[in-house]
Structure 1
Amino acid sequence: MTARPPQHFRHSRQAVQASPLGTRGRLRLGFTMLELLLVVAVMAVIAGAAIVLLGETETRVEQQLATSEIDELKKALLRFRKDTGYFPTQGPFNLSSRTGGFVPQANLPDYVASGAETAWFDCPANFWQLFENPLSEDRNNNGVLDSGEDTNGNGAIDIFHSLGVWNPDSGRGWHGPYLSRTGNGYVRVGASLLTNGSGSPAAGAVVADVVGVADPYVKSPLTASLYLQWLTAPTVAGSALSRWGRPFLLLDPTVPNSARLMSMGANGTYESDATTTGGDDIAVFLLR
């Protein structure tokens, strides 16, 4: 008697015999050209959507960062006002050549170009008074006269107004710096832009070495005149940055209800004027 194969072996042989692979039943390997093109097209659509989504996400992040930074700058200006009763360039913080002002032109930083002092002081991108004390020869508030700070050569720290000294009893006086220098620098701005917001920061004579605060929208300087170009050190051409943010602007600081901060927005172009906020510019009023 012929021995029967094990049960499991017999079943497996029957399974093989029941499913022969002929030419028509053979599994097809690979794709046709049309199928490959379809796959590539789908992948391209997915990649394009991902790029658009990434761009939108980056724009939202920049907008959130710009809003956060402008809020911090607003807080610094409000602290300045709380300590002194004024915004920068307002009241005694204006030039002494003007009514009510006590800031001598001689107390401006040495790097300010001769003949450009007024334009530099008035530039809406200038936040110098948040970093240095304009009413004291000890501008950086370190208790000694550094190079260029002794404006009359008498060897003493001269104070030009009572607000040039912090009074802890009254809680009055310049008590900065109100911002960190980190990430900020010196920017070239067109003199066409006026303190009320009219004009353009990319027109007129170049006002150099303005102590600015940059927004997060990284852009290149404009035109051959290099409007809105940043330097990390004043007057040092070799410290110029090829790309950096646009400077925030302080407009109408002497008009309380109109005092506002301005960002040029994602496109980096100033599109506003004295009465309206245009384009994608961002305006934040300080006392509203």
Structure 2
Amino acid sequence: MSPAAPASGSGTPAEPPERIFLTGASSGIGAALARRYAARGAVLGLVGRRREALQALCDSLPGQGHRIYALDVRDRAVLHEAARDFLARGPVDRVIASAGISAGTLTDAPEDHAVFKAIIDTNVLAMVATFEAFVAPMRARGQGTLAGIGSVAGVRGLPGAGAYSASKAAVRAYCESLRVELHGTGVRVVTLAPGFIATPMTARNPYRMPFLMPVERFAEQAVRAIDAGVSYRVIPWPMAWVARLLRLVPDALYDRVAARRKRKPRTGLR
């Protein structure tokens, strides 16, 4: 990346724009985060499966220098190639692993095994692959932020969503482990746990979604949390209290109540 030009009339170099690598940017939370960061001048590396959606997003963003990488985050080699390309253009300040998929799953349905695998591979292992490409450069600089998008669905297991709940519980534990590993290096690890956010992923949920939050409002609060370098935050805040209470509910009571809950459809990944 070429050196920044001096600020007009100041005689001092302008601060270079922050550079952010963001997965899951094709839609939903990832796209909303991209819009929020671009509005404040960030240069973005946008990763997603759908090239047309990525290009349309990129074309709509203010600023210059954004890059799109149309790929499946489960392909570790291709993901690392994209990371190297973005790193070659300048140091990266933040990496946000937002890619995620969801579907109803049942353990006693053999055909769901492939869905289990796809969800775990996308929501957990792809997050590991995303971060691993940036840890060494960030450690060398002594600064940077790695942010993983989890979910309140990882607080307790939800019936009919074993793969999704397991993946999001794993995200929290993984990010916590990584945070401890990087303690004292200057690299922060942030875990965000959205509640119900109005995105294509939640649009087909056949049950009531308390505290449903517009995705742009979520992005605003998520960016503040990432800026602050918080270790873990549930958004929106009322859902944080629900999450705390769920951890305290005895298993016997939780089982009776949760068993009556409507389940996520087993009609395909999204």
Task: Report TM bin, short chain.
Answer: under 0.3
Normalized per residue, the structure richer in helix is: 2
Using structure 1 for the length normalisation, give the TM-score: 0.23
Using structure 2 for the length normalisation, give the TM-score: 0.24
Higher relative contact order (CA 8 A, sep 6+): 2
